[in-house]
Amino acid sequence: MTTTQPDVAPNEQAQSFLSRDVHHLLIDGQRFAAASGETLTTTNPSTGEVLARFAAGGASDVDRAVLAARKAFNGPWSTWTPYERQALLTRIAQVLDEKFEELIQIEAMDMGAPLSRLRNTKPALMKMLSFFTSQATSISGETLMNGIPGNVTTMTLKAPVGVIGGIIPWNGPLNSQFWIIGAVLASGCTAVLKPASEASLSVLRVAEILLEAGTPAGVINVVTGSGSSAGHALAAHPDVDRIAFTGSTETGRRIIEASTVNIKKLQLELGGKSADIICSDADLDKAVPGAAMGVFANSGQICFAGTRVLVQRPIVEEFTRRLLEFMETLRVGNSLDDNATMGPVISENQLDSVLSYIDIGRNEGAELLMGGQRLGGDFENGYFMQPSVFGGVTNKMRIAREEIFGPVLSIMPFDDVDEAIAIANDSEYGLGGAVWSENLSTALRVVHGVHTGTMWVNCYGYIDPLVGFSGTKLSGYGSKGTTAHMDNYLYTKSVYVQL
């Protein structure tokens, strides 16, 4: 591992946005201070310095935003044809393409992901927008047979459900928000977005860009603030029809409880503790970097990170040696450093939480093979830690069972494929997972045996909206991608026509 902390600064466009005194709520196409007048601050994880202030929205602000979204849903937006919504999404994609560098500069400084990683997310964002653009003209019902006497024609129609409450995670808000925005604009719904208080700025900037691209006022609204205030108010609001949430399982439980006021349908992507299974016949030239970046990408702050790396016993020693050698090539640095491959974690609290798991792992008897320390020197004010690897981990240890959400990888030996499947399934989570093997029969045996929402074979982390992904067990429910994603934003209307 190498480190670098050069003197870097955002480009002119990003700096202009970041230099605002306060970033206000965006409701009905206009900026508003929070009703309370209060603000929160966001910190640059690379430096520990306050980056910006933003409005601390509360329940009354959510009321105002939901009212605007409902008004827009019932207004002229409801008359837009699928072709018009498709054209809007096409314009948005063009504008985002032009402003992408500005957006990733804001994102890098707000949540800490390095520019090198964020630039690589552009194809995924464009694919997502292309997918939802196609969905705008693909919504359809069915003409159905029936057993009713007489001349009765029956069919189903799909219609937008109404106002969507979107609660966006802090570990990648720039792209994450478009799982909601894309579906809202394609379906004809409207939305109130509540970004994470740790990273709200790219969501606010995108909302402005949407207006510039021609999105009608009130269709997409943003209320910033704490989860306990604005987030809870949105989840519990009686005039919000659906909730889309990505975040921790603990917060997901609270959203489920809050949603019972009007029996909202939920789309939940929650926590994970994914198993990445390395069989003895795996191609280690691919499996080693694949497994490593399945954890260390985004500093381990990915819900489907493959933090439990199960390695077949005959190759544990070789895999471990090659993994540690690969980690020496990782470059930890300021998020604006073009050469950095890994940035800081999001906050001081998150850093403390991750470091506490280093102590937990040691106390449980795992062997810390590399890392485990906060970086000092030029990095002491930021929230940087060394990428870390534990060996000798068993599935009973807390570091193997609890979501750490940081750059900590655990190597766990197994003897045969049946044992690997059993270990993988011995978890309350079921979000992601992978298997590396040159034998297709072995790989498919693992794919069918592991109880999880998404499996990768000889790769890790690919996501395509045409294929989608989802979770099971405590990792949530409701698909992202495919037509199943759109079903979260539509309802089915059965129609009987007596001729």
198 lies in some domain: yes
Same domain, 221 and 336: no
Percent of the chain surpassing pLDDT 70: 99
pLDDT at 8 over 90: no
**Residues 6+ positions from 313 with CB-CB distance below 8 Å:** 280, 413, 414, 415
State the average pLDDT over residues 165-178.
97
pLDDT at 328 over 80: yes
pLDDT at 214 over 80: yes
**Residue 6's pLDDT band (boundaries 50, 70, 90)?**
low
Same domain, 292 and 232: no
Q: What is the pLDDT of residues 72-101, one digit of tens each?
A: 999 999 999 999 999 999 999 999 999 999
> Residue 438's domain is classified under what CATH number?
3.40.309.10
DSSP 3-state of 307: coil
Check residue 3 and give its pLDDT.
74
- Minimum mean pLDDT range among 7-16, 29-38, 234-243, 381-390: 7-16
d(CA 306, CA 296): 9
pLDDT at 2 over 90: no
pLDDT at 226 over 90: yes
CB 215 within 8 A of CB 89: no
Half-sphere exposure of 354 (CA within 13 A, CB side): 28
Same domain, 384 and 263: no
Partner residues linked to 267 by β-bridges: 244
Query: What is the H or E stretch that residue 116 is in?
Result: helix 115-119
Q: Residue 392 belongs to what domain range?
A: 275-464
**Three-class secondary structure assignment of 2-33:** EEECCCCCCCHHHHHHHCCCCECEEECCEEEC
Same domain, 297 and 204: no
pLDDT at 10 over 90: no
Of 113, 266, 269, 96, which Cα lies nearest the Cα of 199?
A: 113
| Angle subtended at Cα 202 by Cα 196 and Cα 204, rounded to the nearest 5 degrees | 80
pLDDT at 5 over 70: no
Please report where in the chains the tokens 């300021």 appear, as a residue. Answer: 334
Same domain, 240 and 207: yes
Q: Strands 408-414 and 388-391: what pairing? A: parallel
**Residues 6+ positions from 176 with CB-CB distance below 8 Å:** 168, 169, 246
Check residue 43 and give its pLDDT.
97
Same domain, 311 and 257: no
302 lies in some domain: yes
pLDDT at 309 over 70: yes
Same domain, 262 and 353: no
Check residue 9 and give its pLDDT.
76
pLDDT at 7 over 70: no
DSSP 3-state of 265: strand
Same domain, 225 and 319: no
d(CA 183, CA 191): 10
Tokens of 252: 């997901």
6 lies in some domain: no
Catalytic residues: 269, 303
Percent of the chain surpassing pLDDT 90: 96
**Residue 236's pLDDT band (boundaries 50, 70, 90)?**
very high
424 lies in some domain: yes
State the average pLDDT over residues 190-200.
97
Same domain, 201 and 284: no
pTM, 2 dp: 0.96
2 lies in some domain: no
**Residues 6+ positions from 343 with CB-CB distance below 8 Å:** 45, 46, 108, 112, 113, 114, 117, 299, 332, 333, 334, 335, 384
Q: What is the pLDDT of residues 412-451, one digit of tens each?
A: 999 999 999 999 999 999 999 999 999 999 999 999 999 9
> Residue 75's domain is classified under what CATH number?
3.40.605.10
Check residue 334 and give its pLDDT.
95
Same domain, 170 and 296: no
Quote the number of domains for the chain: 2
**Residue 36's pLDDT band (boundaries 50, 70, 90)?**
very high
171 lies in some domain: yes
Name the DSSP letter for residue 282: S
216 lies in some domain: yes
Of 183, 211, 177, 166, which Cα lies nearest the Cα of 106?
A: 177
CB 353 within 8 A of CB 368: no
CB 74 within 8 A of CB 243: no
State the average pLDDT over residues 264-268.
93
d(CA 271, CA 346): 17
Partner residues linked to 32 by β-bridges: 25
5 lies in some domain: no
Of 434, 428, 429, 438, which Cα lies nearest the Cα of 460?
A: 434
d(CA 395, CA 399): 8
Q: What is the pLDDT of residues 364-413, one digit of tens each?
A: 999 999 999 999 999 999 999 999 999 999 999 999 999 999 999 999 99
Same domain, 191 and 221: yes
What's the mean per-residue pLDDT of the chain? 96
Buried b (16+ CB within 10 A) or exposed e, 454-469: bbbebebbebebeebb
Same domain, 76 and 199: yes
State the average pLDDT over residues 335-360.
97
d(CA 178, CA 481): 11
